[in-house]
Amino acid sequence: MSRAVRIEQTGGPEQLKLVDVSVGEPGPGQIRIRHKAVGLNFIDVYHRTGLYSLPLPLQIGMEASGIVEAVGPGVTHLKPGDRAAYASQPPGSYCEVRVMPAMTVCKLPDAIDFDTGAAMMLKGLTAQYLLKRTQPQGGLKPGDHVLFHAAAGGVGLIACQWAKVLGLQLIGTAGSDEKCKLAKEHGAAHVINYAKEDFKERVKEITGGKGVKVVYDSVGKDTWDKSLDCLQPLGLMASFGNASGPVPPFAPGILGAKGSLYVTRQTLFTHIATRENTQSMADELFEVVASGKVKIRIDQRYPLEQVQQAHRDLEARKTTGSTILTL
C-alpha cells in the first residue's frame, strides 16, 4: 500500500485528497520506485483544474526522486537499489510508491541529493530544451538578448543561471522587487518588475531599440501581446505555459506586421519522447548542476499531507524557486 494524492473531479486545491492505494509489480518496460521527495510544478495545477484535461479519477504529479525497488521485463538501464529521478508521463508522482514507465527515469548521480533530484528534473529539463533546443533563426550566440518571463520561478532561476553559463544576456521579468533581486542574484543580466514598469519599453531601452531574439513565456495571456512587440524581426515567441490563463486566439497576419515573427508552443514531453533524448538532456542537466554552475534553489517544502496548501501558495504566486513535497 502507498499513500497517494488523487482527485475525483477537477476544481480547486480542496479536490486534492490523500488516499491509500495498492501498488503492484512492474510489468514490461516498467519500474516500481519508492519516492524520497516529490517535485511540485504549475502543470500540476493545470491537471487539477482541468485546463489540461485527463481522465478521472487522477493521481497527479510529474516529477520525483527515489530508490528503484523492482524492474519489469525489458528494463536494462535501471536495477533495484538504483538512485533515480524523473520527469514523466503519466502523472502520479504525488505518492510514496508507484509503478511507472521506466523510459524517462534516469539514474541520479551520487553528487546530487534526493531533494535536489526531485526539484530539478521537470524544471531543469524544461530550461535545457528552451535554451538549447528552442532557438530562433540562426541560433543563439554569446551576447544575444533573450527575454524570460517568471524569472524567479523554478524554471526561471535555473534558466537565469544556465543562460549566464552560455553567455546570453537574459532579461528576466518578475512581479516584485524581491523576485527581481532573486533573478539578478542567479545570473539574469537585467531584471524588470512588471508590476511597476512597462516591460516592453524597458526591453527596448535595454536592447537599444533592437528587441530580443527570443521570448520564453510561461505566463500566457497577460504577457503575450507585449512580448510580441519585444521581438526583433524574425524573432521567436516560445510559449511553454499559461500561468495567467491561455493565450486567446489571434490572427496570424499580426506576425507579419510585427516583423515576420515565429511562434511555437513547446512541451517537455515532446522532447523526452525517447530514452536516448531523455538521457542526453538529463546528462547535460546533471553535469551543469554537479559542477555547481547551476544551483537548484528549493525555497518551499511541504509534507505530503499539506499538498492543498502547497497548491494554494503556488497559484497565489507566493513561491520562488522550486517546491517539493516531503515524505
Cα–Cα nearest to 19, from 88, 94, 69: 94
Predicted pLDDT of residue 70 = 98
Average pLDDT, rounded, for the chain: 96
Q: What per-residue string of b and e applies to 20-55 under the rule 16 or more CB within 10 Å gives b? A: ebebeebeeebbbbbbbbbbbbbbbbbbbbeeeeee
pLDDT over 90 (residue 50) = yes
Average pLDDT over residues 7-16: 97
* Number of other CB atoms surrounding residue 184 within 10 Å: 17
Predicted pLDDT of residue 298 = 94
Predicted pLDDT of residue 234 = 98
Predicted pLDDT of residue 317 = 83
pLDDT per residue over 140-157, tens digit each?
Answer: 999 999 999 999 998 999
Dist CA 267 CA 272 (whole Å): 9
Predicted pLDDT of residue 246 = 85
Predicted pLDDT of residue 27 = 98
Predicted pLDDT of residue 61 = 97
Dist CA 108 CA 160 (whole Å): 23
pLDDT above 70 covers a percentage of the chain that reads 100
Predicted pLDDT of residue 87 = 96
Average pLDDT over residues 52-58: 93
Predicted pLDDT of residue 320 = 84
pLDDT per residue over 218-255, tens digit each?
Answer: 998 999 999 999 999 999 999 998 888 889 999 999 99
Predicted pLDDT of residue 184 = 97
Predicted pLDDT of residue 242 = 85
The residue with cell 497559484 is 315
pLDDT over 90 (residue 66) = yes
Partner residues linked to 217 by β-bridges: 239
Dist CA 200 CA 180 (whole Å): 16
pLDDT per residue over 245-294, tens digit each?
Answer: 889 999 999 999 999 999 999 999 999 999 999 999 999 999 999 999 99
Domain boundaries, the chain: 2-123+271-326, 135-265
- Is the domain spanning 135-265 CATH 3.40.50.920? The answer is no
pLDDT per residue over 68-105, tens digit each?
Answer: 999 999 999 999 999 999 998 899 999 999 999 999 99
Identify the architecture of domain 2-123+271-326 in CATH. Answer: Alpha-Beta Complex (3.90)
Predicted pLDDT of residue 269 = 93
pLDDT over 90 (residue 309) = yes
Predicted pLDDT of residue 321 = 84
Q: Which three cell numbers stand for residue 197?
A: 514598469
